[in-house]
Amino acid sequence: MGVCVHLARYQQAALKTLQSAADGTDPVLIPLLGLAEGTGSVATAYKKRLRDGVDAGPSKQRLREELGDVLWHTAALAHVLGLDLEDIAAASLEKTKDRWRATPNDQRPRFDTDYPPHEQLPRQTTVTFTPTSRPDGHTVIAVTREDGSPAGDPLTSASHIEDDYRFHDAFHLAHAAVLGWSPVSRFLLGCKRRSRRGIDEAEDGGRAIAIEEGISALVFSYASRHHYFENVRHVDHELLITIDHMTAHLEVSVLRAADWEKAIMTGYAAWRQLRKHGGGRLEMDLDAQELTFIEV
């Protein structure tokens, strides 16, 4: 039967075999180079498996030894840097959960539950995008609510190059549907939380709206270089980190990077359909976290 070793005890045991660095040598250097060497050995062993076939490749015993060396040097390097291996492992799991596991729907906060119904994002609603010709011959997109009233001013792409950014309200509606958060959608749908002045100013006001618009423009710039996420499953993690920093002081900061990725992908799936058909209708469902395109 194998021995169960906790990471803290493993690190303590590993340090008993840590050799002192020679005088004048940076103590970080030896475990750092050892970690690089061990990682290279694992890669080399697996390369042989790929090149020569499974039977000619390294055994599990060999791979276990190589990975053990990596773990030992990681423990030693953490110690030299003043870090605890168990803390590193816990932080790594939390980071992974934030990146890859969306918040369960029954745990997703409702940011407006305690507000009057007219100040809540509609749990289900429909928004229509209709192309309209201007006198100058250009086409704009009129966005209307379920009752036919306008949701903001008619939109152009506001660019020298027509890239169909004029349909970008789909991104805001996706934020509302998936995250339960969108200062822009609150403005467009007329459900700002005016009954609480502090919330109206800080969460639903001009600065929050500008931040969400900035996120939409930032992601669009990235998306334009990645086929607008068609046949793409994931968003670059650095982009999600930037969004996290931009929203750190807002209520939406309690949600995970995985939630933002889902909102982005949902928005672009709808945007691509609006672009393809030159308009259409989007059904927003906050309970199901869905934004569905309907051709009109």
Note whether 254 and 283 are same-domain residues. Answer: yes
Note whether 71 and 218 are same-domain residues. Answer: no
Which CATH number characterizes residue 90's domain? Answer: 1.10.287.1080
**pLDDT score for 57:** 63
Give tens-digit pLDDT for 57-85: 667 888 889 999 999 999 999 999 999 99
Note whether 162 and 278 are same-domain residues. Answer: yes
Give me the mean pLDDT over the 207-231 stretch: 97
| Domain span holding position 88 | 7-100
In a domain, 2, yes or no: no
Give tens-digit pLDDT for 195-211: 999 999 999 999 999 99
In a domain, 64, yes or no: yes
**pLDDT score for 1:** 41
Note whether 59 and 196 are same-domain residues. Answer: no
**pLDDT score for 3:** 56
Note whether 60 and 204 are same-domain residues. Answer: no
Note whether 78 and 176 are same-domain residues. Answer: no
Domain end (from 100, 123, 148): 100
**pLDDT score for 53:** 77
Q: How confident is the model at residue 4 (pLDDT cuts 50, 70, 90)?
A: low
278 contact partners, CB below 8 Å, separation of at least 6: 131
Domain end (from 57, 79, 100): 100
Give tens-digit pLDDT for 20-58: 878 888 999 999 999 999 999 999 888 887 888 766 666
Give the chain's domain count: 2
In a domain, 1, yes or no: no
d(Cα 33, Cα 149) in Å, to the nearest integer? 65
